[in-house]
């Protein structure tokens, strides 16, 4: 019998109702359906977003639960609250504007059944602007634990929206924290330092709606968050002084570059053709 699992999805007022509809549908229409879908409403939602969730709440007949936060607290804090409300030991992440491939959960559960030592399983993503069928890039990640741990010292080794993880391992590492779009990277490093074992399926598990210019990945606030994240890695002993300085020079500088140049560098050095 397959392990029971939850799907955790945060939603906030800025999400697009039609995209949310597609995202939730991709979670429901799986070859192996989730036992629970936990929606964290990160602050008050628009009437249109609430209508989409109302419809799925009726369709799922008790398998979809909604946890409403009084105000918008950001994705890291919303996920922190959501993890504690998932009933099952395995928790799969999903965003409100992305699309899981139809056999995503089946593939991940197979890894957990085959490898009881593994705590986190992710996979590749395909990126698109508006049309899911018009994919312009893939983000490929290392597949075995040693390579994932090595990659983590320099950049994020997991694709967040593809991850399924053991709830206890997340909580034992301190759960999610608020880190301005880097809350997942922060968590992976703490989990790695805490002895968790990682793996990635060598295939696309989700399609991500990402601006091909990568315009949201820069600016002074993001650069400051990047510097704070790297300091936390260094202080915890996860990276040494040379890597800390290298990461500050390369990663923080990248955040401060003009968007057009930053996008070209990201596309050239961290993405592959679809």
| Distance of alpha carbon 90 from alpha carbon 81, whole angstroms | 16
Q: Averaged over 130-134, what is the pLDDT?
A: 88
Q: Which two tokens stand for residue 101?
A: 């491939």
Q: Averaged over 137-166, what is the pLDDT?
A: 97
Residue 212 has pLDDT above 90, yes or no: no
Report helix, strand or coil for 162. helix
Sequence spans of domains, the chain: 5-213, 216-270
| Distance of alpha carbon 140 from alpha carbon 231, whole angstroms | 26
Q: Output the pLDDT for position 156.
A: 97
Q: Averaged over 117-138, what is the pLDDT?
A: 94
Label residue 274 by pLDDT band (50, 70, 90): confident
Q: Averaged over 15-38, what is the pLDDT?
A: 97
Q: Output the pLDDT for position 15.
A: 97
Label residue 216 by pLDDT band (50, 70, 90): low
* Helical ranges in the chain per DSSP H: 17-28, 47-60, 75-85, 104-114, 145-152, 167-172, 183-193, 220-236, 241-247, 253-256, 259-270
Cα separation of the two ends of the chain: 35
Q: Output the pLDDT for position 218.
A: 82
* 217-231 pLDDT tens trace: 788 999 999 999 999
pTM above 0.85, yes or no: yes
Architecture of domain 5-213: Alpha-Beta Complex (3.90)
Q: Averaged over 202-228, what is the pLDDT?
A: 87
Q: Output the pLDDT for position 213.
A: 63
Q: What percent of the chain has pLDDT over 90?
A: 85
């Amino acid at each position: 019998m397959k392990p029971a699992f939850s799907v955790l999805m945060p939603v906030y007022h800025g999400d697009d109702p039609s995209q949310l509809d597609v995202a939730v549908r991709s979670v429901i229409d799986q070859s192996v359906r989730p036992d629970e879908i936990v929606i964290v409403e990160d602050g008050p939602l628009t009437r249109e977003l609430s209508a989409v969730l109302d419809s799925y709440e009726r369709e799922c007949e008790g398998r979809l639960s909604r946890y409403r936060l009084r105000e918008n607290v950001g994705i890291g804090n919303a996920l922190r609250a959501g993890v504690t409300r998932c009933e099952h030991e395995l928790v799969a992440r999903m965003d409100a504007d992305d699309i899981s491939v139809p056999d995503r959960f089946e593939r991940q559960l197979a890894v957990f059944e085959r490898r009881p030592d593994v705590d986190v399983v992710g996979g590749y993503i395909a990126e698109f602007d508006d049309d899911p069928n018009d994919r312009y890039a893939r983000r490929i990640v290392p597949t075995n634990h040693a390579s994932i741990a090595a990659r983590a010292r320099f950049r994020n080794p997991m694709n967040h929206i593809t991850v399924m993880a053991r709830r206890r391992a997340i909580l034992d590492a301190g759960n999610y924290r608020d880190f301005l779009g880097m809350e997942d990277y922060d968590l992976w490093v703490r989990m790695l330092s805490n002895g968790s074992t990682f793996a990635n399926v060598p295939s696309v598990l989700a399609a991500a709606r990402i601006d091909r210019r990568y315009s949201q990945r820069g600016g002074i606030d993001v650069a400051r968050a990047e510097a704070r994240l790297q300091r936390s890695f260094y202080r915890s002993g996860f990276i040494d002084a040379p890597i800390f300085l290298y990461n500050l020079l390369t990663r923080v500088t990248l955040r401060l570059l003009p968007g057009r140049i930053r996008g070209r560098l990201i596309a050239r050095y961290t993405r592959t053709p679809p």
